[in-house]
Every structure is written in structure tokens, then in C-alpha cells.
Amino acid sequence: MKLTKFTIKNFRSITDGSEIHFRNYSVLVGKNNEGKTTVLMALRLAMDTLKLHAYQLPNTKRTIFKLKNAYEWDRDFPISLQEKPRIKKVTTFKIDFELSEIEKIEFRKEVGSKINGSLCIEISFDENNISTVLVPKRGSAALSKKSNQIAKYIANKIQFTYIPAIRTEHEAIGVINEMIEEELSKLESESKFKEALDVIEELQKPVLDKVATTIQESLHKFLPNINNVELSILGNNRKANLRKDYLIEIDDGDLTDIKFKGDGVKSLTAIGLLKDRNKIINGASIIAIEEPESHLHPSAMHELKQAIQKLAEDSQVVVSTHNPIFVDRETLANNLLVSNNKVKAVKKINDIRICLGIRTSDNLIHASKVLLVEGETDQIILTKLFQERSLKIAKLIKDGDFNIVSTNSASKLPYNLRWYQDQLCSCYVLVDNDSSAKESILKLLNAKELDQKSYMHIVVAGKNESEIENLFKIEFYEDIIFDQFSVELSKTKFSKDKSKWSNSIENALKSSGKSIIADDITNLKKAISKKAVKDGVYDNLALHNIDFVDNLIFQIENYFIKN
């Protein structure tokens, strides 16, 4: 069962009956005070009300629910409409679910009614905070009479969890406490647990009786008319106390109570518990997370994003955020723009950029896909290569949706990657196979800012280190070396040097009696890239590098182009 659509009318700041279409991973994105929290609070109220309606007496259409975050008309009905005449002063939610073929059969068996796979529930609240649950479709009168059964069926099939913005230690631990308490409460229906409670009650009784007698004797001196004092523990309180008697300690090199861990650890612990908790047999789960970025370090945010996306593989996850990190750059339809208290599907990445106040540079234009490389010559050579060998990437370049950007060095890669990700660009990284590039990549992997699908090193067989010029045949550029230095590479040890191209060429020139400055290598690289544009790239590659280049093109196409 999946939640497919949610409609809100006249709840807090949302008045227009916005229809919100949900997927496995849905991101509500917008500035502060635009209505993101309102959407999540509405979904929470609707799902909680539906769950409670499941246990309401049959054939009772209206009831007052005692929810932790109950509906209050004075607060929740739009203030701007409260004094207006001739309008219905009612808040309405509609929740649309899609049932699988198996679930349709189950539904007919449990509820006694046949449906086509789509199930809509309407929940409304009036001025007296009284709720009504209906099934608004053909034959709705008959189905509405079974609203309790329908609600119970849904409640048994879907686990809904709401995680508020985690801003304080109390709220962070509270999320975890609620989950643990709910799991522990399941023990209370087991016979062994009931028997254990009886033993505890029996052991506690003489102690309480003794204390009661002491109190009675003390009070009798002052109030002679007091004949008896009794002490007891309510059964529900005894159960509740047992649910709270636990300690959470986490060892990340230092065994510590979770209360004293950082916000990132607390958030990831809550998400980790949710992942296993919501695996319901033949069911589903919906998890609403408000501003997961609150008070987290950037590296922790990337780690949390990966955890949330992993969670979305088995659950439907709805996230509200105003941080670009959590935006789904790959599937725009997963993002929902909340602006001016309205919710609409995102069609262009620029819609989100404008909403979040992101101003892209002139060279980026509207590109949403970026390949980050180390140097300007890498940029020139790869552009020519894609034009020759990849119609898909070439079209993206022509349309201005794909840019190859030089970071000017591997050390500047982390800064550039974060900057372009903040511009809501999907980024792939191609770097040299040397110590500097490897160090930068490892740091980004450890910080969860890159994953194994989003980068490649330029690897050449027989080389300890390599860069893009190592991909070409020596014959392709030996004339350039001779024209500038009067050195024949074939008479040097250049071909046997296992270091990367720039170091190998420098060693070859020095062994031929030349003193080399940094600009010499830069100028040689520029000359080779210019020749590549003129004479082509792919046909001038060394044969043993063809497979690597084919794989590079395949990986970049696969990363940026979704079939």
C-alpha cells in the first residue's frame, strides 16, 4: 500500500485545497515560514486521526479524538477566514492510497467491499474540533458506514512516523524514546509479562502497606478521625515505568550515553531505528522528517541524507527542508516546492534555485549536471571526446544542461564540489590518478559528500600515476615536444617512466639537458588539447586505453542520464 496523494484545505496557512503527490522519496523544499511544516503537521494529524478512528465504535461518524497534537479550530483553521461570512468553517484532508492486487483481495475479504485499487479517505474538523471520517467515492454512503473497518485495515497496513525538527537534546532523545516505548509496550499482551507484573505487584504490596501504616500513624496524632491510609501503584503506571527503564549507550570509540553524543549521532540513531522498525510484513511505512539539517555539521548532513535515501528503499519518506543538500537533483519530480503557502511539483531545477535564493554564476547558466575535472585542458579534451562518442552527453552540452568545470587543482575539489552541490547541481568527479587526487577523494568519501558511483580516477595500465595526457599515443604529441624543445621522445626513457605524464615529460626533458619551468608543462598541455580539438580525441588514444575511455563514457552517461 502506498500514499499517492494528500489534499489540504483550510489548515493553518494553506487554504486552497493543494493536492500533493507523494513518491518513495519526496522533498518539501522552501524558505522558512512558507508552509513546509504545515504540510507535515497536516499529514501527521490526518494519519493519527485515521488510526484512532480505527478503534472508534462502529457506525459512529463523529467523535472528539484526544491526540497528542490534537486539532484546535481557533489555532488550525486559517485565521484570515475565521470571521468571513458564507464560507464553510471546516478543515478538510483527503488521503489517497494505492493498493496492490493482493491488497485488493485482502480488502474485499476484511471489509466486505470491492475497490479498483484506489482508496480515498476524507477527514474533516469543524468549529467544535469534532472530526468526521468519510469515503468520498461512488457508493461512498455504504463505504463510509464501514469507515472504522477501512481505517483499521489501513492502520494495520501502514506505520506512520513523524520526526520533528531535532533542535534540542530533549527532542532528539524524545524521538528515540517514543520508538522504544512503542516496541516495549507490545510485551504487555504476553502472558509471561502479565505474570511478571503480578509478581512485582505482590512484592511491592507489603512495602507500600508498611509505608501507608507509617503515614497513618503520623497523621492520626494530628487528625484523630483518620482511620486508614492506602498506597498503591496504578497498573498502567507500573507498565509505563517499565517502558522507560533503559539506558542507550553508543560506542564510537568512546562508550557514552547518547544524551552526550552529538546531534549527528542522535539523528542517525533515530533513522537507524526507523529502518528496522518499519519493516512490516505485507505492509508499508510512511516517515515524515522535518528539517533533518537542523544543527548538523555539513559532513553529518551528507551522511544523514544517505541514510534517509536508504530508508526510502523500503519506506515512503517525506522530508521538509530549506537546505539544498536534501533536494533530489536526479529526479526533479520527487521535489515539491512550498512557496506562498502553496505546494506545487517542481518542473525545472531553476524553480528550486529561485525559491532558495540561489544565484548561479554566468558560466553555469541553467546547467544542472556538472563534471568536475582538475584542469582546463581536461575540460577541452573531454568536451571534444563527448562530442565524438556520446550523442547523449553532447546534446546535454548543447542544451546548456551539462558543464565540464575545471577546479584548477585536486586540492580545490572539495570546495568546488560543495559549491556546485549547493547550486543544486548533480556532480560527477573525474581526477588524475595521483596522491593529491586520491587524498581529496578519500576525504570526500569519508565525509559522505561523494559515493562510489560519482567519481573516477584516470587510470592507465603500466603507470603508477596518470592523467588525461597519458591516454594518448606518444605519436600524437611527439611533434609538439620536438617543435618546442628539439627533443625526440623516442630517444629518451619517457615511454618507460611509470609516473604521470607531466612528471614523465619533465624527467625526459631534463635528461635531455633542458631546464623546465611550470609554464613549460602548462603550455605543452594546452598545445596537446588544441591538437585534440583539431584532429580528434578517440582515434588518437593509445589502444590499451580504449577500454578505459569507453567505460568512462558509459559511467558518466549512466550517472547523468536516467532511462
pLDDT value at 365 more than 50 = no
Please choose, from the candidates 235, 317, 247, 324, the residue with its C-alpha nearest in 3D space to the C-alpha of residue 275.
Answer: 317
pLDDT value at 133 more than 70 = yes
Of 111-120, 297-306, 355-364, the poorest mean pLDDT is in 355-364
> d(Cα 97, Cα 406) in Å, to the nearest integer?
47
Structure confidence at residue 518 as a pLDDT band (50, 70, 90): confident
C-alpha cell at 341: 503557502
pLDDT of residue 278: 53
Structure confidence at residue 277 as a pLDDT band (50, 70, 90): low
Angle between helices 147-157 and 101-111 (to 10 degrees): 140
DSSP one-letter string for 60-101: --EE----TT---HHHHS-GGGTT-TTS---EEEEEEEE--H
Averaged pLDDT, 172-191: 73
pLDDT of residue 189: 80
Sequence-ordered list of residues with C-beta below 8 angstroms from that of 358, at least 6 positions apart, any chain? 324, 352, 422, 423, 424
Averaged pLDDT, 545-560: 95
Q: What are phi and psi of 357, to 5 degrees?
A: 75, 25
Which of 66-70, 394-398, 458-462 is most confident?
458-462
CATH number of this structure's domain 2-163+290-351 = 3.40.50.300
Structure confidence at residue 64 as a pLDDT band (50, 70, 90): very low
DSSP one-letter string for 164-187: ----SHHHHHHHHHHHHHHHHHGG
Cell 563534471, residue located: 371
Residue 358, amino acid? I
Q: Tens digits of per-residue pLDDT, 474-484?
A: 999 999 999 99
- pLDDT above 90 covers a percentage of the chain that reads 40
> d(Cα 29, Cα 322) in Å, to the nearest integer?
5
User: Which residues in 447-521 belong to E strands, given as ranges?
Assistant: 455-457
Distance of CA 495 to the CA centre of its chain: 48
Of 115-119, 404-408, 546-550, the poorest mean pLDDT is in 115-119
pLDDT value at 169 more than 80 = no
pLDDT value at 238 more than 70 = yes
Contact (Cβ atoms closer than 8 angstroms) between residue 300 and residue 263 = yes
> d(Cα 333, Cα 352) in Å, to the nearest integer?
12
- Extents of the domains making up the chain: 2-163+290-351, 170-277, 369-560
- pLDDT above 70 covers a percentage of the chain that reads 86
Which of 274-288, 323-337, 497-511 is most confident?
497-511
C-alpha cell at 123: 477527514
